[in-house]
């Protein structure tokens, strides 16, 4: 957790210590917010089935990060990858991705560099 230190003391926040973290990285083959949300829902079912977690998003047991990068039609290389972190519902996964795709496409159409 965060650490606060000065010349005489060091304080560490152990608020989430002991909480396991699973990071699953997929190939960049999801093409829409709907696909990503469905992928997350299936992953949630699997993790619940095997007893790895209750995956209650409202309780913080499951959070999702998404990366969005678009490319011009026919291009081989993806553009700048934008990460959206700590999404706590499948609806927010879908909407965040759809918004970011639109934002990146508009920026590229105007010749802007993505940040």
- Helix 33-49 to helix 90-109 angle, to the nearest 10 degrees? 150
Whether 61 maps to a domain, the answer reads: yes
Question: What is the C-alpha to C-alpha distance for residues 11 and 114, in angstroms, rounded to an integer?
Answer: 38
Within 8 A by CB and 6+ apart from 98, the residues are: 32, 33
Is residue 87 domain-resident? yes
Q: What does the pLDDT look like over 46-103, one tens digit per residue? A: 999 999 999 999 998 999 999 999 988 888 888 899 999 999 999 999 999 999 999 9
Q: How many domains does the chain have?
A: 1
Claim: this prediction has a pTM higher than 0.85: no
Instruction: Establish if 56 belongs to a structural domain.
Output: yes
Q: Residue 46's domain spans which residues?
A: 27-109
The verdict on residue 50 lying in a domain is yes
């Amino acid at each position: 957790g965060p650490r606060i230190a000065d010349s005489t003391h060091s304080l560490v926040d152990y608020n989430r210590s002991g909480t396991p973290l699973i990071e699953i990285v997929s190939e960049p083959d999801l093409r829409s917010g709907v696909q990503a949300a469905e992928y997350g829902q299936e992953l949630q079912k699997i993790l619940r089935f095997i007893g790895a977690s209750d995956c209650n998003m409202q309780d913080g047991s499951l959070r999702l990060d998404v990366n969005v990068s678009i490319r011009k039609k026919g291009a081989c290389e993806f553009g700048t990858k934008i990460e959206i972190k700590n999404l706590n519902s499948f609806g927010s996964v879908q909407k965040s991705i759809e918004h970011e795709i639109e934002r990146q496409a508009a920026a590229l159409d105007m010749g802007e560099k993505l940040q």
